[in-house]
Amino acid sequence: MTDTRLPELTPTPIKDRASMVWVEYGRLDVLDGSFVMVDATGVRSVIPVGALVCIFLEPGTRVSHAAVSLAARAGTLLVWVGEAGVRLYASGQPGGARSDRLLFQARLALDPEARLRVVRKMYAMRFHEQAPQRRSVEQLRGIEGARVRATYQILAKKFGVPWKSRNYDHTEWDSGDLANRCLSAATACLYGISEAAVLAAGYAPAIGFIHTGKPLSFVYDVADVFKFDTAVPAAFAVAGKLAKNPNADLRLAEREVRKRCRDLFRETKLLSRIVPSIEEMLEGGELPRIEPEGVVGPAFADTEATGDAGHRG
């Protein structure tokens, strides 16, 4: 008898994948062994799930149990978002935190001195200079906020974009101005791949250092290190092209931003930089990684892990 079972998956490491795709108005399913998007007319579009970091699901998308299962096995993050990425509603975990890394991350966050050292390391990586001495986390957060606002103004002037402030209401998306809508679309892209990288590395998205109290606090910390080298300039570049056209279609602008971010992430090899950068940030806390002793092992042996550190075997 011929064995018709599919071979075991060997997920591609996060750093070697394409960043993302956006899908809407269709059904994600697994047909004939392939991960596909089926539109209202029954046309199938094959999606290389194992070669992607995350798939953004916009309104009008349905997902089968088989598709979710395959995405999880392949280590691809499914992210449910509003139209044009205006809101992130939920995400499907592609791998899961490793206990040793989760405990290390928690120890750093709970130790005030170690947390401050991690925040200082993030500051240095983001601004390419050492953080001011004798400052608390709250003070560094304030200094960072002032620099961010100044950078927004500089980029707005560079690209000729009218700018007041970073301000939008997610409950009334259409009321936002051109620049803010482009920025929101760009940061949604960056948050998606940053969350996938955090999960693939085996850490918890909620345990942050600068940001706290949110389900994606650590994702925001990680994304902020790369934001002004990638997503924000891309958003202002698109906004600058359309700023002089009062009749510009803002939804087309958001789509252009997403495409530009996708291409920029690939050109700059962003994914290959994020995962090792996470380790660099946390090592800045200067706490040793301690292997737990005297613990009971698993009842059943796990299969050999594939892909990145956080992927299920």
- Interatomic CA distance for residues 130 and 287, integer angstroms: 20
- Interatomic CA distance for residues 70 and 62, integer angstroms: 15
- The position carrying tokens 């499914």 is 78
- Judge contact between 60 and 22, C-beta under 8 A: no
- Closest to 265 in 3D by CA, of 190, 185, 199: 190
Predicted pLDDT at 313: 42
Predicted pLDDT at 40: 86
Task: Write out the two tokens for 216.
Answer: 């994606």
Task: Write out the two tokens for 292.
Answer: 């737990």
Secondary-structure class of domain 14-92 per CATH = alpha beta
pLDDT < 50 positions in the chain = 1-2, 4, 313
Predicted pLDDT at 93: 64
- Interatomic CA distance for residues 66 and 62, integer angstroms: 12
Domain ranges across the chain: 14-92, 99-283
Identical topology for domains 14-92 and 99-283: no
CATH superfamily of 99-283: CRISPR-associated endonuclease Cas1, C-terminal domain (1.20.120.920)
Bridge-partner residues for 62, per DSSP? 27
Residue 58 carries which side chain, given as an amino acid letter? E
Predicted pLDDT at 4: 46
Predicted pLDDT at 303: 58
212-236 burial code (b ≥16 CB/10 A, e <16):
eeeebbbbbbbbbbbbbebbbbbbb
Local structure of 207: helix, strand or coil: coil
Helix, strand and coil percent figures for the chain, each rounded to 5? 50, 10, 40
Considering the entire predicted model, what is its pTM? 0.79
Predicted pLDDT at 6: 53
